[in-house]
Chains A and B, each alone.
Chain A
Amino acid sequence: MNLQLGTFSYLMLGFRQAITPINLVWLTAGGLLGTIIGMLPGLGPATGIAVLIPITYGMNPATALITMAAIYYGAMFGGSRSSIMLNIPGCASSIVTCFDGYPMTQKGEAGKALATSAIASFVGGLISVVMMTFLTMPVANAALKFGPAEMFSVMLFALTATVALSQGSIVKGFASLAIGFMLSTIGIDAQTGLQRFTLGITELQDGVDFLVVMIGLYAVAEVFRNYSAIDRKYEISTKSIGKVFMTREDFRKSLMPMLRSTPLGFIVGVLPGMGGSIATMMAYAMEKQISKHPEEFGKGAIEGVAAPEAANNAASSGAMVPLLTMGIPGSGTTAVMLGALMMLGVRPGPLLFQQHPEVAWGVIASMIVGNVILIIINLPLVVPLVKLLNIPQRILLPIIMGLAFMGTYPINYSTFDFFLLSLFGLVGYGMSRLDIPIPPLVLALILGSNTEQSLRRALTIANGNPMTFLQKPISLAFIVLTVLSLVYSFMREAKAKRKRAGAVSA
């Protein structure tokens, strides 16, 4: 069958799912909540989704997935607000937007910067979803043929790359990964029924609930971190924003940067471990390099807002590809989404496309509709939404903490989870104090059981011969990629160390 035609008819099936009234309501609500979360400094998308998990409890799988995706790309719309208004990024992927967004505000062009960021987010989001529709079918079809050996190698690559391609110490990243794997092995072993590492605690027989761990590591720990800045207050005068619009000239200047940054952001988003923040940095650097007036960058160049904003929305669509087609998250945020979905009994992966195409394609179609809704609500609502930045931290933080606890209880209806939640809040705080990255732990925890089972199944099939991972071509390819990403990251770290040493001696 013609592949394109297949994709098109599936997409139509998805649209029918996406525009049911209940899904439209949650699509709008999710996008709006995401915008607010992205906007508030100190509340990243991972924390936002972790805190908002309770809203999905009564939902059917398709609506839950649609809502969570909307929160995710909604956060990408909102993240730039505080970058532009206050020079404080709302989340990691809007750091770059500060470079030119805030200078524009200082020049009295806040309205123009806000409009540019919303329109660039829309363009990046929309075009990248179109790219997504063409990529998901081939990837899901390929993943369908994966046996245990291939699955193991893919997960090994995804996990290694998450550590290797992210910033910070690689060894610490692997330590974080190992701790996540340790947590994932707690409980009854699926193949033999053996109890492992439960320390005799009955509640641990079913394993450590990854949702509780994630809410602790992200939401609770994030509140702890923000305790040191309780008295921080943001003063925003909405009068100074001016008119929220772009002139034809502005649009002409930003169009090419948007169109160039979208594919870049999308590809970076598909890769594990890179995500929005790296996509925005690369897009910004690229635009500065090819610009005819690079000296204007950093002083309020409109391209410097358009490029990263298109890139981070495109990256968020890209990140959905491995999540939906293989069930492999490439970042902390997508890992939290996966955790929430698994609790509802949805297992993203190639089988989702085969058995429930209306769910898988419903999400993709909803992302197109969602981007349109977001631009419609975002342009006129920019001013009232920005006012939310005035909520003082000393009221916001207790509410986030309350939401974290309240959302944890219905997961198992067990107050034991409150103790786990507090414990992992403390662990998360400690990890950030020690500069140990949190995403590897979360990814290892959620993928650990699958990784172990595929490893053992592959070995059983091959009569215990570990060479099986190198004998199957697809598996071999991913092992090679794993090794390459490792070599690359260690070389990068060695280079950075030499540079530091050079700076000290000089």
Chain B
Amino acid sequence: MTRNLTAGLIPVVLGVVYLFMTLRLPDVSIGDPLGPRLFPMIVGIGSLVCGVLLVAGEIRAAKGGARQRADEETAVERSARKALYGKIGLTILAGVVYGFILDTVGYLISTFVFMMILMCLVNTIRRMVENTVVSIGFSVVTYVLFATIFQVSLPRGILAF
């Protein structure tokens, strides 16, 4: 599947699901009856039309043979892409873990853990001293800035200060 085809199918799918949900909205007795549905209807149809245009354009291009299959990637490129997706996936995983532990263990520890994972991921495990310094520095400095200048109170968690 080419990238343009994907780019067309996403608005089609989103548009269909969205229109379906719009039609299933319950009727309201107060206010204008058409109101809550009118705008979503326009938007959903718009999305669908955009998607169909993109897909149609892609099919036409494929039929005309104007496009060569240039997307063949080499083994090196494929392994680079896989490494990239791995990093992105692990970052998101770290973010989700951060979200689950922040309220219980507190800002300082959870932020340190989050930064440490990211630093190990991006800065590699070999540079452990750098990783530790940046992670501790980041969590402490942001915590102090938040508490003093920005007057935002962050969850303290198990560290009671």
Q: Which A residues contact B (CB, under 8 angstroms)?
A: 54-55, 57-58, 171-172, 174-175, 177-179, 181-182, 185, 189, 191-194, 196-197, 223-224, 227-228, 230, 394-395, 397-399, 401-403, 405-406, 409-410, 415-419, 421-422, 425-426, 429, 433-436, 451-452, 455-456, 459-460, 464, 501, 504
Alpha-carbon distance between A28 and B21 when the two chains are bound, in angstroms: 49
Residues of A within 8 A of B150 (CB): 54-55, 57-58, 410
Least CB distance, B125 to chain A, in whole angstroms: 12
- B129 interface residue (CB < 8 Å to A): no
Check B88 against A224 for contact (C-beta < 8 Å).
Answer: yes
Q: Which B residues contact A (CB, under 8 angstroms)?
A: 3-4, 6-7, 10-11, 14-15, 18, 21, 25-26, 28, 30-32, 34-36, 38-40, 43-44, 46-47, 50-51, 53-54, 57, 66, 80, 84, 87-88, 91-92, 95-96, 98-100, 102-103, 111, 114-115, 118-119, 121-124, 130, 134, 138, 142, 146, 149-152, 154
Number of A-B contacts (CB under 8 A): 176
Check A452 against B92 for contact (C-beta < 8 Å).
Answer: no
Least CB distance, A56 to chain B, in whole angstroms: 8
Residues of B within 8 A of A172 (CB): 7, 50, 54
Check B28 against A415 for contact (C-beta < 8 Å).
Answer: no
Check A182 against B43 for contact (C-beta < 8 Å).
Answer: yes
Check A415 against B103 for contact (C-beta < 8 Å).
Answer: yes
Check B146 against A54 for contact (C-beta < 8 Å).
Answer: yes
Check B99 against A416 for contact (C-beta < 8 Å).
Answer: yes
Alpha-carbon distance between A395 and B124 when the two chains are bound, in angstroms: 10
Least CB distance, A43 to chain B, in whole angstroms: 15
Residue in contact with B138 in the complex, picked from A230, A399, A452, CB distance below 8 Å: A399
Least CB distance, A417 to chain B, in whole angstroms: 8
Query: Provided the pairs A58-B149, A416-B99 are in contact, do residues A456 and B88 lie with their beta carbons within 8 angstroms?
Result: no
Alpha-carbon distance between A434 and B54 when the two chains are bound, in angstroms: 12
> Can you name the residue of chain A whose Cβ is closest to the Cβ of B117?
A398
Alpha-carbon distance between A228 and B86 when the two chains are bound, in angstroms: 11
The 19 listed contacts between A and B (C-beta, < 8 Å) are: A55-B150, A172-B7, A172-B50, A172-B54, A178-B50, A182-B44, A185-B40, A191-B36, A192-B36, A194-B36, A395-B119, A415-B102, A418-B96, A418-B99, A422-B92, A426-B88, A435-B3, A436-B7, A455-B38
Least CB distance, B78 to chain A, in whole angstroms: 13
Check B57 against A171 for contact (C-beta < 8 Å).
Answer: yes
Most A C-beta atoms less than 10 A away, residue of B11, B80, B95, B102: B95
Least CB distance, B45 to chain A, in whole angstroms: 9
